[in-house]
Structure 1
Amino acid sequence: MGWGSAYSLFDTVANALIEAGASDATKERALTTVIARLQAEDWDTELDSLQSYLDDPAIVRAFAANGIEWPEDQP
């Protein structure tokens, strides 16, 4: 069984980095690590979080570094 509520942890960290004005490099490095850890704990709602940050290239790269990419056929 997956860990669907992990999105709230990810979103909290991502939003804190954004609000703190973290650089793209810092966001990418930190969130790549967070995503990997959540995946190790059976996170299964990655695309829900990714969708919320499609306008932030650093966060999109963090997901991609963990093999998670927004499907081309999705708006």
Structure 2
Amino acid sequence: MGFGSAGYKLFDPIARALIEAGASDELKEKTLTPHIAHLQEEDWDTEEDSLELFLDDPAIVKAFANNDITRD
């Protein structure tokens, strides 16, 4: 069974907070890459939905790509 609420409960708020705080691209990527990996280990199954929300942020897109999650 997947972890569908991981996006809106765990990933999305952290990504938004980093953006709102003006975090550098490097900080966003270094923070979110392992966060995404951990959520995947917990069977995150809505990661593509979260990716879609942040397509306008290259650092976040790269953090997803670092975990082999890309837009089809």
Superposition TM-score, scaled by structure 2 size: 0.97
Which entry has the higher C-alpha Rg, 1 or 2?
Answer: 1
Rounded to whole Å, the distance in 1 between the matches of 2:69 and 2:21 is: 25
Rounded to whole Å, the distance in 1 between the matches of 2:41 and 2:14 is: 17
Q: Secondary structure at the match of 1:35?
A: helix
Rounded to whole Å, the distance in 1 between the matches of 2:52 and 2:13 is: 15
Structure 2 spans left out of the alignment, 5+ residues: none
Q: Secondary structure at the match of 1:69?
A: coil
1:20 aligns with 2:21: yes
C-alpha RMSD of matched pairs (Å): 0.4
Aligned length: 71
Rounded to whole Å, the distance in 1 between the matches of 2:68 and 2:60 is: 13
Superposition TM-score, scaled by structure 1 size: 0.93
Structure 1 spans left out of the alignment, 5+ residues: none
Give 1:2 deviation, angstroms: 0.3
